[in-house]
Structure 1
């Protein structure tokens, strides 16, 4: 079996099962390796699959009820945007159509193992399903340079950054979610490097520098911060924006209320499924790596119990529509990617769940997604047609397709296209320098916080 055939088979398998099957299989295998009882490993794996499926169903449902609102708003505004938004599935199809895609699996695993042994990371990345994110970056490099070796070098750098970023946010994720021994290795977190310096400035504003998560909001406004009430209010507001009649408006209100009510419920199953596995991995790895506390890297959905994430995502929908209309450089019609999780998750981690600052960061982030989606459109569309990807069948009126919610858009564009300076385009290289500067500042500050936290924990342990 050649690389192209192997990649096509893997693409077909992953498309047929998705994260809801693939990730639990990995977790069951991991559980057995770290000597969990088979019945416990299988039970936790299946429950994790249930949690993934439940979260995916809710997100899909929310997309189905919210996307028409965005379409209606665009129709009433009367703008013409020729690039079709194919969502993340377009990116995955393009990535897996690359003949060398299959090689990204061993590269990711080997780098992770080397870094664990060398004590350069405390994260074991079990999120193999999202390996396509690395493949897509590599495909971007090949599309620009034609150099396959360089593409894998850039992908390897991305893998290292994912592990180091997962380490950086591990303690905070534990505090925010209450789930021990897990962190997030998804590429969407890379936008934190852009958000962090901005958030550092926002914290200097007294009104924005106090506890302001959904729980604190509930204490101040009472019933109006209840998930179901807030969801109903937001749904009705969206109905007004879409110029819905009264019946459709109220129906949308109840549907949004249902979504915000059930997201935290589903998240509890992630906790129930992941806790036994993460504890078993931690105990096993403690024996192998004495004195170290290792964590398991996962996809973002286990963070889905955060009301702040969903409120920010919902806020981002009308903001995306407005920017799609106002930005003269934007040519992409937001559709499949309009429910943009990648907008909110890095804001959630950077602000530690401060909702007002999350909304400000998301508003700043929307143009980044639209402009990167527009910039990638010719490249993505060419690959879609040249490789015969399914996405080619859905090309927009201008024969162009892209995604308005590319994960880690700044990083993806900068790292895959910075060599375009040879063709007279300095923008990606400039973006690369800015991202590295933001990441360096974030890494310095959060590493300092981690050391202080560990020192405090050690002092407390000595006192006891």
Structure 2
């Protein structure tokens, strides 16, 4: 257990390169190439961490000041994933979560139930969180372990279902994102994509960074858009012109630096991913496989970063109007791109549709996180993570997870009306997602057949 904890404490920027290096060696890559791939991925994640920290350190306080300025006072503060992840790892379930998640992945691969080979070990914390919250809710360690396995199996399937999006929109060939936030919240976007795509007039609205740039010229470039959004947030927070301008420049830097850091990760990853796919497809008779990775890769897309900045003030506005909300958004605001990343891809980069479906998704997340405050606070207390004077904590990431909420409510039946509403809504979205996946798969098959006829 101490060895596992030591491994986790290395963080994703060290842990993932080690995993990739070992994987590359197992795939018979030369040691030099394997080492280069691992280090390049580590460099990319360090770069992304620096950019995210830039957002957390500057955008986070601005968001909090904005909320206070507009009189948003809630009973629980969103500690974000930086606060929720340590709670998950510190729980009893955290010690066995990695073994359970890997075991489920191997079993599903052998049985042909998934094509995702998950190497994103760090983000197993999402599964651990689900298990820990279910254990707190039910008082049962066994149910906690079952919850980890259920979350793992579910998220690997979502990785399969959204693989066409990562391939066709994000151009990440052979990559899946089996992530407990990006993939898990994305089903909410599918009904909106169909609805907005069928309304006359509305279906023609397509707002994205490229169109803004083409119409506005230099003013529409991503860095200018980032600067304007950053300054707007600064002024809404009540900052003076000097500080607002500084925040604008910092967000302009985010718009430029984030895609460059993602390119570093892809440079290190693609050779290993390609080798892994070839070996697996050979062993499993030509089946296609995907390497499961962190949604940080999605932040290389300009539309995702732009949506992230827009959703900072929008999430605070939603917190003020969502009925029954008790959570003050804070910790997850700077990394809201992980929430809307896959959603942006589903909408083909259309920011208009992303804002509509994303607003609904964030509203649901806020409501759920308000319902799980009690369980979340118990987790924090058990992990000795309650600060002095803090009596309640929450998080949008995982604390607001519909899957975790549904599992906990099924096993406790403490809020049957909430279970019926969220459960029914989410099942409907999952059915839509499955149909969407089948449609995308058929399109790809037709495209392949057409190319074969031409050749």
TM-score, normalised by the number of residues in structure 1: 0.91
The structural deviation recorded for 1:119 is 2.0
Q: Quote how far apart the aligned CAs of 1:351 are.
A: 1.1
Shift of 1:31: 0.8
The answer for the alignment partner of 2:110 in structure 1 is 117
1:212 CA displacement: 4.2
1:232 counterpart residue number = 227
The CA deviation string for residues 299-338 of structure 1, in whole angstroms up to 9 with x for no partner, is: 1111111111111111111112222233352222222122
Q: Secondary structure at the match of 1:187?
A: coil
1:259 and 1:414 map into 2 onto residues whose CA distance is 35
Alpha-carbon distance between aligned partners in 2 of 1:167 and 1:153, rounded to the nearest angstrom? 22
Structure 1 residues 75 and 175 mapped into 2: Cα distance closer, same or farther (>3 Å)? same
1:77 corresponds in structure 2 to: 70
Deviation (angstroms), 1:125: 0.8
Match of 2:58 in 1: 65
- Please tell me whether residue 244 in structure 1 is matched to residue 239 in structure 2: yes
What is the CA distance between 1:9 and its match in structure 2?
6.0
2:77 aligns to what SS in structure 1? strand
Shift of 1:45: 0.8
Distance 1:29 1:373, change over 3 A: same
Question: Is 1:196 matched up with 2:190?
Answer: yes
CA distance in 2, matches of 1:248, 1:60: 18
Contact 1:93–1:390, Cα closer than 8 Å, also in 2: no
Do structure 1's residue 409 and structure 2's residue 401 form an aligned pair? yes
Q: CA deviation at 1:13?
A: 4.3
Residues 131 and 145, structure 2, Cα contact 8 Å, conserved in 1: yes
1:267-306 matches, cutoff 5 A = 267-306=262-301
2:365 aligned residue (364, 369, 389): 369
Tell me if the contact between 1:181 and 1:278 (Cα under 8 Å) persists in the aligned partners: yes
Q: Name 1:456's counterpart in structure 2.
A: 447
Paired position in structure 2 for 1:146: 139
Distance in 1 of aligned mates of 2:145 and 2:92: 13
Task: Indicate how the Cα distance of structure 1 residues 404 and 158 shifts in structure 2: closer, same or farther if over 3 A, else same.
Answer: closer
Q: Root-mean-square deviation (CA), in Å?
A: 2.1
Q: Is the contact between residue 90 and residue 402 of structure 1 (CA under 8 Å) also seen in structure 2? A: no
Q: Are the aligned partners of 2:376 and 2:394 in contact in 1 as well (CA < 8 Å)?
A: yes
Aligned twin of 2:46: 53
Listed as ranges, the gaps of 5+ residues in structure 2 are none
Tell me the equivalent position of 2:170. Answer: 177
Alignment partner, residue 400 of structure 1: 392
Distance 1:429 1:150, change over 3 A: farther
Separation in 2, partners of 1:183, 1:22:
19
User: How far apart in 2 are the matches of 1:446 and 1:108?
Assistant: 24
- In structure 1, the residue matched to 2:376 is 380
TM-score, normalising length: structure 2: 0.93
Q: Which residue of 1 aligns with 2:337?
A: 341
The secondary structure found in structure 1 opposite 2:372 is helix
How far has the Cα of 1:61 moved from its partner? 0.4
Aligned residues: 452
Alpha carbons of structure 1 residues 429 and 145: separation in structure 2 relative to 1, 3 Å: farther
The whole-number CA distance in structure 2 between the counterparts of 1:84 and 1:166 is: 31
Name the SS of the counterpart of 1:240 in structure 2.
helix
Using a 3 Å threshold, how does the CA distance of structure 1 residues 431 and 266 change in structure 2: closer, same or farther?
same
Give the distance between the partners of 1:279 and 1:451, measured in 2 at CA: 24
Describe how 1:99-114 pairs up with structure 2 within 5 A: 99-114=92-107
The equivalent of 1:325 in structure 2 is: 320
Question: Which residue does 1:358 correspond to in 2?
Answer: 354
Q: Is the 8 A contact 2:299 2:337 kept in 1?
A: no
For the Cα contact (< 8 Å) 2:174–2:289, is it kept in 1? yes
The 5 Å alignment of 1:417-428 reads 417-421=409-413, 423=414, 425-428=416-419
Residue 256 of structure 2 aligns to a residue whose secondary structure is helix
- Which structure 1 segments of 5+ residues have no match? 1-5
Aligned to 2:421: 430
Worse-matched range after superposition: 308-317 or 108-117: 108-117
- Counterpart contact for 1:420–1:428, Cα < 8 Å: no
- Residue number in structure 1 paired with 2:16: 23
Q: Structure 2 vs 1, CA of residues 430 and 326 (structure 1 numbering), >3 Å: closer, same or farther?
A: closer
Distance in 2 (CA, whole Å) between partners of 1:424 and 1:255 is 43
| Mapping 1:120-135, distance limit 5 Å | 120-135=113-128
Of 19, 29, 33, the match for 1:36? 29
Check 1:187–1:209 CA distance in 2 against 1; reply closer, same or farther (3 A cut): farther
Aligned with 1:290: secondary structure? coil
Who is 1:441 aligned against? 432
| Partner SS, residue 37 of structure 2 | helix
Per-residue deviation, 1:241: 0.8
Distance in structure 2 (CA, Å) of the matches to 1:194 and 1:433: 12
Whole-Å Cα distance in 2 between the matches of residues 27 and 118 of structure 1? 24
Residues 316 and 366 in structure 1, CA contact (< 8 A), matched pair in contact too:
no
